[in-house]
Structure 1
C-alpha cells in the first residue's frame, strides 16, 4: 500500500472499531540470498527485527500484498514468490501494537530467492534492512521470525509440502 496507514483499509477500519481486536489477512515474505541468509527488517513500530510483511488492501490478491509490502519495506521486487505456508495461530499470531490496537494475523508465507532493486529501508515501516545467517538471527526479533523460518525449513525438507503454523 502506498500512502499512509490512515488511508489504508485497516486504517479506515480502525476509525470505526478503534483498538478492538480484528482478524486481518496479510502476507510475510522470507527473502533468502544465495548464501542462505534471510532478510529481516527493523520494524518502525516495535523497533524489533521481523519479516517484510503487511495487511491486505481491498482489491489486492495475497500475492499482490506480499509484493507490495516487500517493495515498500525493502526496495526489492521479487521475481517470483513461492507460497510455503500459512500462519494463523491465535496466540503466536496475535499482535498488540504499542498504541494498543490488537490484530490477529492470518498470513500467507512466501519465499523469494530472486529479486530486482536495491536494498533500502523506507524510514517508517522499516528502519533498517539486513541479511542474517539463519543460525545467527538477532535476539531482538518479533515472535513470528523463528517459527516462520522453521516452517520454511520444514517445507524444504518435505520436498515442498505446504506448512500450516
Structure 2
C-alpha cells in the first residue's frame, strides 16, 4: 500500500503546493447481484463517493482502478469495462478542504465481478455500503454525475462523456 506522500500525486504536491493540478484517474461503479452499487464515505468531504483514484506513472487506467480498489477496500475486481469519461471542468475541478485543487480527467468503469467484502484499509474511506442506484445518499457531486452516466450507459449502452 502506497502512502499519499509516496504516490505520484503526493510527490507533485510536495513540489507545487496547492495549485491546480491536472490529474488523470479512475472511478468505478461496482454492482452486486442485487443491483446495488458500492460507495465509500470519504473523510475529506464527509460525503459518499465511488471507489477510484489517480494514475501512477507507467500504469494503464485499467490497472489503476484494480489497484485503487484493492488498496482502499480489499476487494479484488476483474472484468472492468470502461463506460464513460469525466472531464467537464465545471464538475471535475475540485478544491479539497486542505486547499489543494485538482482538475480530474476520470475514466469511469463498471464491473459485477469482485471477490471479498469491502473494508476501509488506507484511510481514504471511513465506511463502505451498498446502495440502490435510484435512491442514493448525499454524494460528492462529480461522482453522482458518474453514477448518472452509468445509469444512462446501462439504459442505452453508449459510451458516456460527462
2:66–2:78 contact (8 Å) kept in structure 1: no
Partner of 2:136 in structure 1? 137
Partner of 1:148 in structure 2? 146
Q: Superposed, which structure 2 residues align to 1:8-157 within 5 Å?
A: 8-122=7-121, 124-139=123-138, 141-157=139-155
Q: Distance in 2 between matches of 1:22 and 1:117?
A: 34
Q: Distance in 2 between matches of 1:79 and 1:12?
A: 29
- Deviation per CA, 1:78-132, whole angstroms, max 9, x where unpaired? 1210000000010111111110000000000000111012221125001100001
1:26–1:107 contact (8 Å) kept in structure 2: yes
Q: Distance in 2 between matches of 1:26 and 1:128?
A: 21
- Root-mean-square deviation (CA, aligned residues, Å) is 1.1
Q: Distance in 2 between matches of 1:44 and 1:124?
A: 8
User: Is 145-154 or 16-25 further displaced after alignment?
Assistant: 145-154
Instruction: Determine which of 147, 161, 165 is the counterpart of 2:158.
Output: 161
CA deviation after TM superposition for structure 1 residue 44, in Å:
2.4
1:44–1:123 contact (8 Å) kept in structure 2: no
Aligned pair count reads 162
SS at match of 1:92: helix
SS at match of 1:135: coil
Q: Distance in 2 between matches of 1:15 and 1:146?
A: 30
Q: Distance in 2 between matches of 1:39 and 1:32?
A: 7
SS at match of 1:63: helix
Task: Write out the 4+ residue segments of structure 1 that deviate beyond 4 Å after TM superposition.
Answer: none
1:26–1:55 contact (8 Å) kept in structure 2: yes
Unaligned runs of 5+ in 2: none
2:71–2:122 contact (8 Å) kept in structure 1: no
